[in-house]
Amino acid sequence: MRHAFETAVNLRKGDAILSLKNRFPFRLGTTSYIIPAGLAENVAFLADKVDDIELVLFESHEISNLPDTDTVKRLREIAEQYDLTYTVHLPLDTWLGHADAAIRRPSVDKCLRVIEHTARLAPFAYILHFHGDRRGESPSPDMMRWQEGHRRAVERLVQIVPPEYLCVETLDYPYEFIEDIVIDYKLSVCMDIGHQLLCGVDPEGYLDRYLPHTRVLHLHGVENGHDHKSLAFLPGGLLTALINRLGKGPDIQRVLTIEIFDEGAFNQSMDLMRGLM
């Protein structure tokens, strides 16, 4: 494992990106899929460049990238060495509001396993999706049942995790449909500005309404109907306005994750962020 760390540190030697650690009034982060390597190698590569890394985890019968005990130990060592935090993106193939309890309960169980598996990393947040039964403006033909299913799921999760560490992400439907659940259980918001842009939603309205409840923000550009692109594809002025806004108001600790998945987009986005220091 230490060999993997040293290998990643030496990757692309001579092309190192100047660190942006501790340069903003929030923790700047990106994902654990920037270079074509494993979880530990990506963390080692990024540790001296950003403040937080989003661990994008999945688990199924066929494949899993959950870190083993040795990897968790190494991730913790890297975090301590580099003043690094982690946000854990819980698996996407979960249906926490499903009408069928035989599907809903295993989905919650899967989230709980990932939470238990990563507990030693003391994550800054856990990112959670309330998937709709369908895509689009209305997430379910039976909204009361769908919302109640998510309430039941949350009631199990908050027995294990402090509610403010559970961040429910903005997806492709109006957040008003789940706002009461987030507020009633004292959860946090994960504001995905890239999703809002993809859906043609004005981020300013969401920031006005939900920023006080937001612990994590996801930021990525949209190009030709595809998201998770470089920040170069953000609308003009949005990045500057967002950074300025996050620097004002109450002193709330947040993570801003550049949610992209390749090194070229990461380099370009970091250059843009550097220009705002």
pLDDT digits (tens, 9 = 90+) for 137-172: 788 999 999 999 999 999 999 999 999 999 999 999
Predicted confidence (pLDDT) per residue in 6-60, tens digit: 444 444 433 445 799 999 999 999 999 999 999 999 999 999 999 999 999 987 7
Number of domains in the chain: 1
* CATH number of the CATH domain containing 139: 3.20.20.150
pLDDT exceeds 50 at position 133 = yes
* pLDDT score at 17: 56
What average pLDDT does the segment 209-216 reach? 97
pTM greater than the 0.85 cutoff = yes
CA distance 150 to 83: 34
Predicted confidence (pLDDT) per residue in 79-130, tens digit: 999 999 999 999 999 999 998 999 999 999 999 999 999 999 999 999 999 9
Owning domain of residue 162: 2-274
Residue type, 146: W
Compute φ and ψ for 167, nearest 5 degrees. Answer: -110, 115
* pLDDT score at 6: 46
Which range (38-52, 143-157, 200-214, 236-250) has the least confidence? 236-250
CA distances to 195, 231, 257, 271 from 268, rounded to whole Å, are 20, 7, 15, 5
Per-residue exposure over 135-166, b if at least 16 CB sit within 10 Å of its own CB, e if not: eeeebbeeeeebbebbbebbeebbeebeeebb
Q: Which comes out higher in pLDDT, residue 70 or 63?
A: 70
* pLDDT score at 15: 45
pLDDT category at 248 given cuts 50, 70, 90 is: confident
